[in-house]
Amino acid sequence: ITAQKYSIMVGSGGAGSSNTNSKGTNGSNSIFDSMTAFGGGGGGSEATATGANGGSGGGAAGIGANSNGGSGNVGQGNRGGNQVWGGGGNGGSGGGGASANGEDLIANHTKGGYGGDGIANSISGVSITYAGGGGGATDASTAGAGGAGGGGIGSKFGSTPGAGTANTGGGGGGGDNVPGATGGSGIVIISYVTADWSGYTINGGTITTSGIYTIHTFYSSGTFSVETGFPIGSVKALVVGGGAGGGANGGGGGGAGGYQYNASYNVSAQTYSITVGTKGMGTNDATQGNNGNSSIFSSITAYGGGGGASGAVPNGSNGASGGGAHRNNTGGSATQGNSGGVGLSSGDSNGGGGGGSASVGSNSTGTDTGGNGGAGTSNSISGSSVIYAAGGGGGGNSTAGSGGSGIGGAGGTYNTNGSSASPANTGSGGGGSGAYGSGKVGGNGSDGIVIISYVTANFGTCSLTGTGNTITTNGANSIATFIVSGTFTVVSATSAPTVTTQAVSSIALSTATGNGTVTADGGATITERGVCWNTSTSPTTANNKAISSGTTGAYTAAMTGLSAGTLYYVRAYAINSVGTSYGNEVTFTTLNIPTVTSPTVTSVTSNSAVLGANVTSDGGAAITARGTCWGTSANPTTNCVAEGGTTTGVFTHTRAGLPSGTLIYYRGYATNSEGTGYSADGTFTTLSPAIVDWNNSNVQEITLSANRSFTFTNGKSGGLYIIIIKQDAIGGRTITWPSNVGFASGTAPVLTSSANAVDVVKFVYDGSNYIDIGTTLNVHH
């Protein structure tokens, strides 16, 4: 598998046939990448007796004639059971299983056929058998058992057949005069050695572990996601393996280390392990020069060079470039560079040159001249042109082979050592020692090198480890040079964070909750994040801000000290070492208390009035109550009664129980979740009681122009008094009698309300109370 998202399909179990005219439905396929497990074939029925083909085939129906089971898919399953009619009862054959055919019924129909067995597998961590066939039905005594692996039992005498076990792929049992049973759903299980995928993020299915394994089990369709570090940029990479040592006694030159250069290699933000291949050492005549060791950066490997031959081991070693041969023998072959030269001496012992990255090692010549080392390859990744990976020269008698490109070790002459490759860390081979040099040794190769060059501005502050390893600059580029093994940490280029703003929530009169998301930290640590706001556009942290802890991801911030009923502009923000970033702008308006205006008063009496007001705004929150308040001083907050409405607009209601003849202050109010708003004050004076002084006359007349109350005074004990009450041209006026007036009926009469109506009431005074002795209503209209 590779780092990608795989769609996983888990096949559903096929439905059992519900009538005699159709087969059972095939199961659906399960799929992972290029692997497809086909759904099982449906079992035959009376009218369509042949079992259907599938992953494993369905069993044939017993119908009084020969019929065949369905075929299984090659490599996945087996056929369903066949029918060979022999008389007697009806019995269906078994469905095929993953490891066996369904049971045939041959001239025996007193039973149902058994389902074929499935296959056991321990991928889940325990042994489970999958894909057993369903059992056949019978109208006789023995139903067909389901095959091992979730197969359902067949029906007998009309009993209910068994369904295939879920997520085993087992077949459903056949039905006898009842519908067949549903097959079991499939399953997909993926298991891997946990440590092998430690650098990846893998998700999908139900994830468990078993020992060293991680197991993803898909009981239903889904996605299997394999993710690794996403490439953040490309670098130039030069990887050179360690050069090999030269051989001895007319020894072959050491082969160069591998030369691997990639001008555009993708890297991700992670720490890479860097291996610098060490040099192979030159040896004496008893063995070949030692091979160099490989250098490695990520997936780039440069192999070590092959050691040069010696007198006792005359063939050059294979390597990235092959080692040179000893006298009349074969140079080593190459995997990444060139082969070593052949020793072609007819006289003295001379060695071939070691192979280089740019050319083969040359053969020895004449009777006493060693072969030259193969040329290296020039590269300017470091900022200046340097040659890498040249072969070492072969040893000669009178004339030594030269080191390739001047950096491979030169061969020795008669009785002298071979020279070591120089300068260091070019991955070049050492020279072979000269002829007849008992005890002399070949030269050492040079260590390899790894150089990584990247555009400085495209990355963050990358770092490395390893003594002597360095990061230098060359113009716009940074150059990481590894002369010993170490690590290289790649950091994403830093930029200001990326942040988005979401709608403000929990809005109140003076507070609200800001919402933001830091979607990327820009490659540097988030030092602060939050929301900022102002009453004009494009707010910054210099205006107002609320800080939220954390780095990336969604967050909230509490906004306080806001003004009621005010439009605010809001942006999320985040800060890192590069700077401050702001998200998109959103707006909101804080809530307010309701606005109430226009207090009104009508129908004033001595003890009541109709009061009202106009709720012109709910303040952004639902009105929960509205009404009026009154008192005998300004800005009353007592005697408040709700009118009953909960909307904006004009309202009125009657307020009773007012003191008579009194200056009343009143105002409207409305309440929401944020508080109560009041209108301006209005004033009015309740009417005073009308005074009826019987000293003036025993018969008195009053015309009502409003609702009135009365007070009787100066009555004489035993006196007879008459009051004539007239309605004005409007009518409908009422009166409130004095408390010392009593009526024979126990209640005061209801006055005639029509315009200009006249009512007459007679009293006798007993010294304390005025007793009604007759009321004449509507005397004149």
Model pLDDT for residues 245-269, shown as the tens digit of each residue: 999 999 999 999 999 999 988 888 8
pLDDT at 511 over 90: yes
**Residue 731 carries which side chain, given as an amino acid letter?**
G
Which single residue is written with the structure tokens 């007697």? Answer: 88
Band of residue 199 on the pLDDT scale cut at 50, 70, 90: low
The token pair that represents 136 in the structure block = 């056949």
Task: Report how far residue 266's alpha carbon sits from residue 272's, in angstroms, rounded to the nearest whole number.
Answer: 12
Geometric angle at alpha carbon 18, from 16 and 21, rounded to 5°: 110
Per-residue pLDDT, 577 = 86
Task: Report how far residue 623's alpha carbon sits from residue 12's, in angstroms, rounded to the nearest whole number.
Answer: 56
**Segment of 233-237, 272-276, 341-345, 432-436 carrying the highest mean pLDDT:** 272-276
pLDDT at 87 over 70: no
Per-residue pLDDT, 273 = 93
- Give the pLDDT confidence of 546-567 residue by residue, as tens digits: 999 999 999 999 999 999 999 9
Per-residue pLDDT, 29 = 97
Per-residue pLDDT, 409 = 98
Q: Where are the beta strands (DSSP E) in 506-566?
A: 512-520, 528-534, 544-548, 553-559
Which residue(s) pair with 230 in the sheet?
none
- Give the pLDDT confidence of 280-290 residue by residue, as tens digits: 999 998 899 99
Q: What is the DSSP string of 603-655?
A: S--SSEEEEEEEEEE-TTS---EEEEEEESSSS--SS-EE-S--SSEEEEEEE
Fold of 595-685: Immunoglobulin-like (2.60.40)
Share the mean pLDDT of the chain: 92
CATH code: domain 498-589 is 2.60.40.10
The token pair that represents 365 in the structure block = 């010549």
Closest CA relative to residue 44, chosen from 30, 29, 31, 54: 54
pLDDT at 228 over 70: no
Task: Report how far residue 518's alpha carbon sits from residue 526's, in angstroms, rounded to the nearest whole number.
Answer: 9
Q: What is the mean pLDDT of residues 95-112?
A: 83
Percent of the chain with pLDDT over 90: 75
Pair 431, 418: CB distance under 8 Å: yes
Band of residue 695 on the pLDDT scale cut at 50, 70, 90: very high
pLDDT at 391 over 60: yes
Domain locations along the chain: 1-228, 230-493, 498-589, 595-685, 690-780
The token pair that represents 602 in the structure block = 């009508």
**Segment of 100-109, 195-204, 611-620 carrying the highest mean pLDDT:** 611-620
**Segment of 218-232, 383-397, 481-495 carrying the highest mean pLDDT:** 383-397
- Give the pLDDT confidence of 664-679 residue by residue, as tens digits: 999 999 999 999 999 9
The token pair that represents 87 in the structure block = 């008389």
CB atoms within 10 A of CB 363: 24
Pair 65, 85: CB distance under 8 Å: yes
Which single residue is written with the structure tokens 């890498």? Answer: 388
Pair 320, 300: CB distance under 8 Å: no
pLDDT at 86 over 60: no
User: Please, which residues have CB within 8 angstroms of residue 616's CB and are 6 or more apart in sequence?
Assistant: 595, 596, 597, 648
- Give the pLDDT confidence of 639-652 residue by residue, as tens digits: 999 999 999 999 99
Pair 194, 49: CB distance under 8 Å: no
Per-residue pLDDT, 196 = 78
Distance of CA 139 to the CA centre of its chain: 56
- Give the pLDDT confidence of 166-180 residue by residue, as tens digits: 999 999 999 988 999
Band of residue 346 on the pLDDT scale cut at 50, 70, 90: low
pLDDT at 18 over 90: no
Per-residue pLDDT, 366 = 79
pLDDT at 381 over 70: yes
Distances (CA, A) of 259 to 237, 238, 362, 372, 388: 11, 7, 19, 19, 7
Dihedral of CA atoms 736, 738, 741, 747 in degrees, nearest 10, equals 30
Pair 331, 319: CB distance under 8 Å: no
The token pair that represents 81 in the structure block = 């059971």
Band of residue 63 on the pLDDT scale cut at 50, 70, 90: confident
Percent of the chain with pLDDT over 70: 97
Task: Report how far residue 453's alpha carbon sits from residue 380's, in angstroms, rounded to the nearest whole number.
Answer: 10
pLDDT at 74 over 60: yes
Q: Of 48-52, 427-431, 465-469, where does mean pLDDT reach its minimum?
A: 48-52
Per-residue pLDDT, 130 = 98
Q: What is the DSSP string of 540-557?
A: -TTTEEEEE--SSEEEEE
Closest CA relative to residue 217, chosen from 126, 124, 120: 124
Dihedral of CA atoms 408, 413, 415, 417 in degrees, nearest 10, equals -10
- Give the pLDDT confidence of 708-740 residue by residue, as tens digits: 888 999 999 999 999 999 999 999 988 889 989
Per-residue pLDDT, 780 = 65
Whether 498-589 shares its CATH topology with 595-685 is answered yes
pLDDT at 138 over 90: no
Per-residue pLDDT, 457 = 84
Per-residue pLDDT, 89 = 53
Distances (CA, A) of 100 to 38, 40, 131, 157, 510: 16, 14, 10, 27, 77
pLDDT at 584 over 60: yes
Which residue(s) pair with 449 in the sheet?
240
**Residue 335 carries which side chain, given as an amino acid letter?**
T
Between these two residues, 229 and 54, which has the higher pLDDT value? 54
User: Please, which residues have CB within 8 angstroms of residue 33's CB and are 6 or more apart in sequence?
Assistant: 1, 6
For 555, phi and psi rounded to 5 degrees?
-155, 165
Per-residue pLDDT, 701 = 93
Name the pTM for this structure: 0.47
Band of residue 324 on the pLDDT scale cut at 50, 70, 90: very high
pLDDT at 132 over 90: yes
